[in-house]
Each structure stands twice: as structure tokens, then as C-alpha cells.
Amino acid sequence: MTSSVQAPTAAAGAGDTTFEHPKRGFPWGTFGSYASIVIILVWCLTPFYYMTIMAFRQPDYALDNSLVPSHLTLSNFKYAFNTTNNHFGRSLINGVIIGIAVTVIGMAVGVFAAYAMARLQFRFKYLILGAVLAASMFPGVAILTPLFQLFTDWGWLGTYQGLIVPQISGALPLAVFVLTSFFTDMPWELEQAARVDGATPGQAFRLVILPLAAPALFTCAILIFLSVWNEYLLSVNLYNGNDNVAPPTVALAKFTAGPHVQPYTQTMAAGLIITIPLVIVVLICQRRIVSGLTAGGVKG
């Protein structure tokens, strides 16, 4: 390790001398390396850890402020699914329905545009790509006001379609950008070989491109689903108080245990239920997600 080149250490705090005299004194390089890992882990995980132990703590001990798990109980989770005050269980189903619908529509439309962007040469290509990017840059409130009025007229407030359609505005540009980037990086020689061997364009796309692109499509679907699962602004203003269609973020924001009660531990249990599936997916697919994020974000 000492013979390999280290990244600039100015920010990390380890000195140059380590590199030139690796065998003398305290191993600052290794120590700094571990210390920085610990710092990052503490930064990222402490609040999440706190949420987890709060979710398992008895409500009466909510403001214990102890970082050690204590007064453990499962009652908070039971309360989260209790339908007296909240409709949290239902909101999870709604979240899945809305998330899958937006993901499927966004991907089904976006995959063709992305293929064309990456593979074909046509007029106004960069103008269209720019317009797609610009569409994703509008703040949610810019489309919220007119949609609120339109949906009032159409009776779409508090319906599934009223929550699904507006979110395509974010999902579709995301799909186009992530998939364009993935498609551009794919080896096209394989498709050409298939074409030379006599495959029609349709066969080449179906038998060669789609299997190759499957991981990219999967990553893109996860990114879209995550963004829809996280959405709050449009949902909270368009669900119109209808708990039968409210997504989990909305149900959590108005999570209550009755008047004048702060349901800290119960809310943390509900929050944990919303988050855990995401954390599991993210941990399993971290490599793909990171490549998808950097593809969509950096290459833009």
C-alpha cells in the first residue's frame, strides 16, 4: 500500500512524511484511513441508528436520549398499523401501486427515446435532449398550481391517476437520461454482428440489445421507484385528504397518536418501515445505483 500513490492528503489530515518514510514511527497513513472511514460511518449512520433504536423503544422513554438500545418493545410497529388514527398500512400499498405505475409508464416511454438518443442521428436531437432536461428542472410548484385547478375540474383530486400522472414529469426525464447514458456505453458491435448475420432491426433489439440492457433497465427502474417513493410535494397537495390513495410519505407526515401527544417512537417505527425496503435494495444494488447516479448526474 505504501508504494502505491496516495490521493492528496491535505483534507484527510495525514502528512507527506508517511509516504516517504513508511517504516518509521506511527503508521499515520493507515490510521488516517481507518479514522476517515469511522468519521464517514458515524456521519451517515448515527441518525439512522437512532431512528432504529427509537422505533423499538417504549413510548414513555422516548426522550431518554440514550444511544444504547433500552426499554425494547414491538408495540410501536403494532401502533403504526393500527387504523384508529392513521392509515399507514394502506399507504404502503398505495405507495407500491403509484410507484410501479409511474415506473412502468416512465420506462416504457423513455426507453425508446433513450435508444434513439444514443443510437440514431436525427435533426433537433440535442434540442430535444435539452428540452427533456429542462422539463425535469422545473420546480414541482410550477406545475402544481395549474394541475390543482385542472384536477379539481376533472374530479381527479384524491385519485390514483391524479397522483400518478404528475409524477411522470420527473420520472420520464430521469429514465431518458439514465438510459441514454447506459445505451451510449453499450458495445454496439454485438448488434451489428447480429444484423450482419441477418437479424432484422426488431430481432436485433429484442434478442441482443434488451438482454444486454436488462441490468441498466433494472437500475433505472430502481432509481425511478425510489424517487416516486420519496415524493411529497405533489402527493400531499393532490391527494385531497383521501387516505385510500395517500402514499407513505403523506401518511407519515400526518402520523398522529391523537391530540397533544407527540408519537415520537411510533413515528420512528413507521419511518423505519418505509425506509427498510429502500435500504435493503440500495445495499444489494449499490454498485449499480452508484453507476446509475453518476451516469445520470455527471454525464447528464
Segment 210-239, which members bind other proteins (CB under 8 A)? 226, 229-230, 232-233, 236-237
Cα separation, 257 vs 4, in Å, equals 58
Which residue of 28, 50, 77, 160 would you call a contact of other proteins, by CB under 8 A? 50
CB of 90 to other proteins, least distance (A): 16
* Least distance to other proteins, CB of residue 265, Å: 9
Distance, CA of 31 to chain centre: 33
Q: How far is the CB of 110 from other proteins (least distance, A)?
A: 6
Collapsed DSSP state (helix, strand, coil) of residue 237 = helix
Q: What is the DSSP letter of 57?
A: B
Q: Is 120 in the site for other proteins (CB under 8 A)?
A: yes
Amino acid making up residue 172: L
Give the residue ranges of DSSP H helices in 120-159.
125-137, 140-154
Candidates 63, 153, 241, 258: give the one binding other proteins (CB under 8 A). Answer: 63
282 binds other proteins (CB under 8 A): yes
With CB under 8 A as the contact rule, the residue among 71, 90, 119, 288 that binds other proteins is: 119
Residue 56 as a binder of other proteins (CB under 8 A): the answer is no
Q: Which residues pair with 57 in a beta bridge?
A: 72
Restricting to residues 127-166, which ones interact with other proteins according to CB under 8 A? 128-133, 135, 137-150, 165-166
| Rounded least distance, CB 108 to other proteins, Å | 9
Measure the CA–CA gap between 252 and 236, rounded to whole angstroms.
11
Q: Which stretch binds other proteins (CB under 8 A): 68-76, 80-88, 154-162, 171-179?
A: 171-179
Smallest distance, other proteins to C-beta of residue 24, A: 18
CA distance 222 to 285: 9
Q: Which stretch in 74-82, 122-130, 153-161, 212-220 sits in contact with other proteins by CB under 8 A?
A: 122-130
Please say whether the beta carbons of 167 and 239 come within 8 A. Answer: no
Q: How far apart are CA 223 and CA 3, in angstroms?
A: 39
Q: Which of positions 23-42 make contact with other proteins (CB under 8 A)?
A: 32-34, 36-37, 39-41
Cite the beta strand spans of 65-220 per DSSP E.
Answer: none
Cell of residue 165, nine digits: 400522472
Contact string (CB under 8 A) for other proteins, positions 258-277, x = contact: ----x-x--xx--x--xx--
Least distance in Å: CB of 23 to other proteins?
18
Q: Residues in contact with other proteins, total (CB under 8 A)?
A: 118
249 neighbors 231 (Cβ within 8 angstroms): yes
68 near other proteins, judged by CB under 8 A:
no
What does the alpha-carbon distance between residue 188 and residue 168 come to, in Å, rounded to a whole number?
30
Give me the amino acid identity at 235.
S
* CB 70, min distance to other proteins, A: 14
Query: According to CB under 8 A, which residues from 69 to 108 bind other proteins?
Result: none
With beta carbons less than 8 A apart as the criterion, state whether 127 and 261 touch. no
